[in-house]
Structure 1
């Protein structure tokens, strides 16, 4: 049967079938974390285990995001945050779109990170201007990514060099 726009469907037509993924729910770890979150003050975990944190400015919402990161990702989030703050103790912190953003002075935001199922992704908003460029390209020409998996070591010297370079570039006003 050809698909028709919803407005032309009659009210007695059955609802569209749900996908297997919708029927089974998300991965078991995320379901278990969300069950705990529903029964406490813990933030809900979105797809891939990314914490759902309300938009906010300052270190408190960022600390809440990091505290809600699941498993090994929490320790990595704490380390990333510590390196960013060590590079500039006056760094501006905020949560936007369920991820922490960091910026320097009034120039806007320079980087962010978020959880995915098997890695944490650091987003350098002007990454194409960094030397060397972070390894992963984006559909946005200036953005570059660094994906960090559980069994990988963070090259703190290179990460700190990227932070120092980022601070000298214009940021994004989100």
Structure 2
């Protein structure tokens, strides 16, 4: 049976490293398409390490998406699994993931087919929908925040 998002361990409450220098994209190996290779971990720190390692303009996109998600879903739970940041609610499952490709950043809404309006990118999985963000794209932040709020209220994906 798939697992729920685990409860935060006591040490994970201090998610942001104190006094640690930020990770630079040159410090982290990049996989195909420029996706940062970040060790699996729970909390804000591994997600921030992933975002800092996103190459070029993609890091700015990652920071903006992360800030919008945090603002939209107070108490959002974060992790890096399968070299992708995941966002969910503790004990409820994951509702969104981010992945870097050569020419774009892909946001996966795991129950995206239930969102209104449905995000534009189709998937081979019937429930998943994508939003691809390319260099120079203007993100419709109002629509993105609406999708994030809707997605956070749906049953999460148990990964």
The two structures have a TM-score, normalised by structure 1, of 0.76
Q: Superposition RMSD on alpha carbons, in Å?
A: 1.1
Residue 59 of structure 1 is matched in structure 2 by 44
1:129 aligns with 2:119: no
1:107 aligns with 2:92: yes
Question: 3-state DSSP class of the match of 2:79?
Answer: strand
What whole-Å deviation, never above 9, does each CA across 1:73-123 have from its counterpart, x for those lacking one? 000000000000001230000001000000023210000111100000000
Comparing both structures, which one devotes a greater share of its residues to helix? 1
Structure possessing the higher relative contact order (Cα contacts under 8 Å, 6 or more residues apart): 2
1:79 aligns with 2:64: yes
Choose 1 or 2 for highest CA Rg.
Answer: 1
What whole-Å deviation, never above 9, does each CA across 1:125-171 have from its counterpart, x for those lacking one? 00000000000110000000000000111100000000111111000
Residue 91 of structure 1 is matched in structure 2 by 76
Aligned with residue 139 of structure 2, among 154, 162, 166: 154
Residue 15 of structure 1 is matched in structure 2 by none
1:119 aligns with 2:113: no
Task: Flag as ranges the 4+ runs of structure 1 deviating above 3 A.
Answer: none
Structure 1: unaligned runs, 5 residues or longer: 1-35
Structure 2: unaligned runs, 5 residues or longer: 1-24
The two structures have a TM-score, normalised by structure 2, of 0.83
Length, aligned pairs only = 135
Distance in structure 2 (CA, Å) of the matches to 1:158 and 1:106? 26
